[in-house]
Structure 1
């Protein structure tokens, strides 16, 4: 959900026209630029400006899209129609031929029209309507299969791909229906039998999960929480020695209290505790990252984030997508407002968590956008591009975009969906195919899943020629 405007705060944040960036660790992803000069008609980044179309998406010259699925219209193998609100996603190379296997979350809570069908053996809670579907597509976008891979979960928002090629689907809720929700579930894109009798990974905690990434070298998982009153936390789960190295099926076999779940505590160089990530206004701000054990990870009596005093841990408003790259985690905070208790307002932050250095660095900050539908706001899911740089899905007001930033610092629009100011639509789950030639993305609201193809190699060019 995007924020409402806060005009009085515009002057307090960096203007989009002075939008600042920094240099990421490792491969050196650069996120710099400013406003419409780069996020608008003049932007090139080698791909050129968006061309207005009469179709569903505006794309640069040479790019095209194909609709792979549409909620309520596309038929699944079970004979049911495709569920509502596709969200986070992961892409895997097919094993039985060329193409891609996509696992798609469906953020279905209670009011959506099309629930994830309750296919026998795949249902966790008969009272819940969320879950995942799996799409198998050829390189040209021809759909080979489309079927339910998890059902009876709730508000499956984002998640994360594992190094052993499975999808961790996260429930962004703390509701209890016939069963309790707020867990992470593992979905196998290749072995359908492995998805039967779904089991929540309770060791990863029960809270309003958003995304998760895996540090493959350390058998550590990092998880975001999209919550408020109070704001959510960034968590770290460390696997116990007797289950390392983690691999296919190992999370499903975990005891409910296995490993250690901790919440982030950030501090400045002089040791001052940072209570909220919105405090940072300068790109390049770096905090020390320490971790505080969670008392009751299953939240039997009290939500996990409410088990801490504000002086014990560090919170963030709407901690959203994450992506593992450059030996660390890129973490998105979608927006913040002073009226919700944040220190400074913004319309998006991207942080880089460096586990080896034990630091958290602000890489990108969106100032509070104006009230036009051109200014991007509300970054959500993020993916690191195989062509260099990053792609960010926008969940904001008015027109929504897939935003990009190249390794040399140019920022650009890659796709736009023109919608009314009050329309409830957002881009979700951008992810590239293994060969880097296709970008898959979901559009929540009307419920489309797209495959976008075009001269992605041009993203590495910066002269626009």
Structure 2
């Protein structure tokens, strides 16, 4: 898409403006124009032509490639098929970007890039090995990375981004085709998506907590969501009888559970869980306090949708959502109160997908990967850093 067509980008029924009907106000928080990314994007008519790295950006932004698959960075060979990712603040003023490897047959895992306070790469290393199809995951407020296996018997692995502690499997989070996890930091509950055409939305509640108030991920119960009277409205939660799926897949254990077509990324902000479904190109919002769910974005309501191939999702400090495309126009798109605006586009990556968007802890840099790069092959992955007036 070369230009912003506001008529086509204004959200329609079941879009952002309709959310106040059930939540009392818009589910995206209010923010000042001076601080919001959408103000910058709406002031520009189009993204600039591709830079030397093949990235189309707004004026004032720059890109660099920080890692490529099979590239040796310190003692670590950057992994193939980079997928979900997150950042973590370090005590020295630097930060860490972790990235999953979505490879089969126990050749996946998680790699990490360590940046110093100046933004230079200071180290690279593995924090998880010998797992399969590590797709997305989730950042926890206790500074760990939950890496999700997207296989029928997939688990969630809790990883130390600093590489000091061995990764731990968290079976209490269930056995299914995991996609992503988000932590409700107010209630300390975890929400999980499932990448199946008849997948479900899950919630984990711990029975016990440590001295810092962090939930025990080995001692709790897993529930599955039922949206009452359709796919939009009040939600009822059912405890799963067998989270380990020893006989029946989790998504088929509760007859009344609601199906979501290909659950993908998930993100929590100020009492709302946002998640995406790739099968029907939707972005959803679940209001935790109101216990209600709504569709935030639905590509089928547009003659020429800006956002298709919805996949990984993240957000910035003021609550704007960033959604990465698997296919589509190979864009990262910003969703605001009433607009759908491209933030960037990769050119020449038509057989790839954008994955792992995450802001640096101070919000000044955006990281993401092109899973298969320009070659369209797993070993062609490329990981980017974007800087600019975020």
- Shorter-chain TM range is 0.7 to 0.9
Choose which of 133, 143, 146 in structure 2 pairs with 1:165: 143
Q: CA deviation at 1:28?
A: 4.8
Does the Cα contact within 8 Å between 1:64 and 1:453 map onto a contact in 2? yes
Looking at structure 2, the residues matched to 396 and 136 of structure 1 have their Cα atoms a distance apart, in angstroms, of 29
Segments of structure 2 that go 5 or more residues without pairing to the other structure are: 1-6, 31-37, 374-380
Looking at structure 1, the residues matched to 29 and 185 of structure 2 have their Cα atoms a distance apart, in angstroms, of 24
Tell me the equivalent position of 1:217: 186
Does the Cα contact within 8 Å between 1:89 and 1:159 map onto a contact in 2? yes
Instruction: Quickly say closer, same or farther: Cα 1:170–1:315, change in 2 above 3 A.
Output: same
Instruction: Quickly say closer, same or farther: Cα 1:48–1:28, change in 2 above 3 A.
Output: farther
Tell me the equivalent position of 1:236: 203
Higher strand content, 1 or 2: 2
Looking at structure 2, the residues matched to 333 and 296 of structure 1 have their Cα atoms a distance apart, in angstroms, of 25
Output aligned runs, 1:330-345, within 5 Å.
330-336=274-280
Choose which of 312, 323, 326 in structure 2 pairs with 1:395: 326
RMSD, matched Cα: 2.7
Does the Cα contact within 8 Å between 1:376 and 1:396 map onto a contact in 2? no
Output aligned runs, 1:151-230, within 5 Å.
151-174=129-152, 181-190=153-162, 192-194=163-165, 196=166, 198-228=167-197
Tell me the equivalent position of 1:84: 80
Looking at structure 1, the residues matched to 234 and 318 of structure 2 have their Cα atoms a distance apart, in angstroms, of 31
Tell me the equivalent position of 1:64: 62
Instruction: Quickly say closer, same or farther: Cα 1:56–1:155, change in 2 above 3 A.
Output: same
Q: CA deviation at 1:45?
A: 2.1
Output aligned runs, 1:43-122, within 5 Å.
44-46=41-43, 49-53=46-50, 54-73=52-71, 75-78=72-75, 80-96=76-92, 98-110=93-105
Q: CA deviation at 1:244?
A: 7.9
Tell me the equivalent position of 1:124: none
Does the Cα contact within 8 Å between 2:148 and 2:180 map onto a contact in 1? yes
Output aligned runs, 1:124-163, within 5 Å.
128-138=106-116, 141-163=119-141
Q: CA deviation at 1:227?
A: 1.1
Tell me the equivalent position of 1:418: 347
Q: CA deviation at 1:328?
A: 2.1
Tell me the equivalent position of 1:114: none
Q: CA deviation at 1:139?
A: 5.1
Tell me the equivalent position of 1:324: 268
Instruction: Quickly say closer, same or farther: Cα 1:369–1:85, change in 2 above 3 A.
Output: farther
SS at match of 2:307: coil
Does the Cα contact within 8 Å between 1:207 and 1:225 map onto a contact in 2? yes
Choose which of 353, 356, 363 in structure 1 pairs with 2:289: 356
Looking at structure 1, the residues matched to 185 and 347 of structure 2 have their Cα atoms a distance apart, in angstroms, of 39
Indicate the larger mover: 380-389 or 101-110. Answer: 380-389
What are the Cα deviations for residues 1-20 of structure 1, in whole angstroms up to 9, with x where unaligned?
A: xxxxxxxxxxxxxx966752
Looking at structure 2, the residues matched to 384 and 213 of structure 1 have their Cα atoms a distance apart, in angstroms, of 12
Output aligned runs, 1:361-400, within 5 Å.
361-367=294-300, 375-397=306-328, 399-400=329-330
What are the Cα deviations for residues 131-181 of structure 1, in whole angstroms up to 9, with x where unaligned?
A: 10111113554211111110011111111111111111111112xxxxxx4
Looking at structure 1, the residues matched to 41 and 186 of structure 2 have their Cα atoms a distance apart, in angstroms, of 37
Looking at structure 1, the residues matched to 382 and 118 of structure 2 have their Cα atoms a distance apart, in angstroms, of 17
Segments of structure 1 that go 5 or more residues without pairing to the other structure are: 1-14, 32-38, 111-127, 175-180, 278-285, 337-347, 457-465
Structure with higher RCO (Cα < 8 A, 6+ apart): 1
Does the Cα contact within 8 Å between 1:86 and 1:107 map onto a contact in 2? yes
Instruction: Quickly say closer, same or farther: Cα 1:244–1:287, change in 2 above 3 A.
Output: farther
Looking at structure 2, the residues matched to 403 and 242 of structure 1 have their Cα atoms a distance apart, in angstroms, of 37
Does the Cα contact within 8 Å between 2:11 and 2:338 map onto a contact in 1? no
Looking at structure 1, the residues matched to 206 and 87 of structure 2 have their Cα atoms a distance apart, in angstroms, of 25
Q: Normalized against structure 2, the TM-score is what?
A: 0.85
Does the Cα contact within 8 Å between 1:88 and 1:105 map onto a contact in 2? yes
What are the Cα deviations for residues 318-346 of structure 1, in whole angstroms up to 9, with x where unaligned?
A: 1111111021211111233xxxxxxxxxx
SS at match of 1:308: coil
Looking at structure 2, the residues matched to 185 and 30 of structure 1 have their Cα atoms a distance apart, in angstroms, of 32
Does the Cα contact within 8 Å between 1:161 and 1:168 map onto a contact in 2? yes
Does the Cα contact within 8 Å between 2:262 and 2:278 map onto a contact in 1? yes
Instruction: Quickly say closer, same or farther: Cα 1:101–1:140, change in 2 above 3 A.
Output: same
Q: Normalized against structure 1, the TM-score is what?
A: 0.72
Instruction: Quickly say closer, same or farther: Cα 1:48–1:188, change in 2 above 3 A.
Output: farther
Does the Cα contact within 8 Å between 2:107 and 2:132 map onto a contact in 1? yes
Looking at structure 2, the residues matched to 187 and 448 of structure 1 have their Cα atoms a distance apart, in angstroms, of 22
Looking at structure 2, the residues matched to 404 and 330 of structure 1 have their Cα atoms a distance apart, in angstroms, of 14
Looking at structure 2, the residues matched to 219 and 415 of structure 1 have their Cα atoms a distance apart, in angstroms, of 33
Q: CA deviation at 1:387?
A: 4.7
Looking at structure 2, the residues matched to 27 and 221 of structure 1 have their Cα atoms a distance apart, in angstroms, of 23
